[in-house]
Structure 1
């Protein structure tokens, strides 16, 4: 994935689109597998771990799709960047919980899950460490919460019942566009890519790690 340090000359739209397409195929296949797995004995024990696999694949797909749209349509930065922000907010909130839920079921005595909880615990510690720089950026997290609550998830500020946050967001993106600014310089883009890479690393260390043991 691209980072904020990249410039437009290194943006390979075709290759990135292929990556998003492959990610979509992966998450679709996982969804089909889950429908079948629900009919098997012990599904409730397997559910947290299997649904975690689906969720990690979904994060990968949605991140790639949103980043692709943002970089391919910089004139519509207002739309794509706010939804990328919403996606990032939900990943930061939900992913650690989904991982903890899966580990808790794996560790439960009598669980039908065959997954290695210790392998997942080690990967989870690294995952939290990888997300720490984002969470510790207090100014960014405050802005991300505002975008999520007053621009992306809702069409008006629930506290003031006004469109002020959306108006500010529109004018900000318009100014950036008029000044020749590129989405490549977006902090939201940088942190979304960082979070997605942390998710990929967790998946490799835990899920794929089990396949090699």
Structure 2
């Protein structure tokens, strides 16, 4: 997924709902399968790497690679479910919002921790901290574009706390946020509004593109 994943194009209507003419679910599923293989392969590598006596130095950088792969895989899966199951967007879109919130918060922190270890005197890590820092700056700028939308950030924070992460609003001890979210999903479906126009979908795609750009920058020889 990249910023060009939302080109101006015709929207088609069929028995599955409304979707852009550029959407190719078959190719997208293939990309999910590739992402799943990447994260599984990385997990197996980590199991072997843990046997090394200098694993502690390598751990932040290697686990960062795993975390980036997990974000890539999970984001693709949830985007696919939102886009291919628009009638059930009440379920999938709230978890996509929760996932996006965590990515915006945790990914920069994980990158920072890995870079600190790479710069630590005496570390066994062979990773290039300057290369990671340059890629991190680009990622932070991309995330900043999303964070500037303060109304959106407030909305997903509320969605996270009152609907997705908890089954009941912790402050009011009521189901009001979930009720409001259900009504929003129902009215959106009734209007025939496609998930492709969702800000949650749009910003999740942009965050995913930033993660992929970062990973490419630090892993490509």
TM-score range, shorter chain: over 0.9
Q: What corresponds to 2:95 in structure 1?
A: 83
Q: Distance in 2 between matches of 1:105 and 1:4?
A: 40
Name the counterpart of 1:3.
Answer: 6
Q: Is the 8 A contact 1:150 1:158 kept in 2?
A: yes
Residue 107 of structure 1 is matched in structure 2 by 119
Give the TM-score, by structure 1 length: 0.96
Residue 196 in structure 1 maps to residue 199 in structure 2: no
What whole-Å deviation, never above 9, does each CA across 1:104-129 have from its counterpart, x for those lacking one? Answer: 00000000000000111111111101
2:24 corresponds to 1:12: yes
Where do 5+ consecutive residues of structure 1 fail to align?
Answer: none
Which one has a larger percent helix, Structure 1 or Structure 2?
1
Contact 1:3–1:189, Cα closer than 8 Å, also in 2: no
**Whole-Å separation in 1 of the counterparts to 2:51 and 2:22:** 46
Is the 1:96–1:128 contact (alpha carbons within 8 Å) kept by the matching residues of 2? yes
Considering only aligned residues, what root-mean-square deviation do their CA atoms show, in Å? 1.1
The C-alpha deviation readout for 1:140-182, integer Å capped at 9, x for no partner, is 0000100111110000100000000000000001000011011
Contact 1:83 1:152 in 2 (8 A): yes
Offset from partner CA, 1:18-44 (integer Å, 9 cap, x none):
111110011001001101100012101
Superposition TM-score, scaled by structure 2 size: 0.92
Cα separation, 1, equivalents of 2:137 and 2:192: 40
CA contact (8 A) 1:4 1:190 kept: no
Gaps of 5+ in 2: 12-18
Q: Secondary structure at the match of 1:10?
A: coil
Per-residue deviation at 1:10?
Answer: 1.7
Count matched residues. Answer: 209
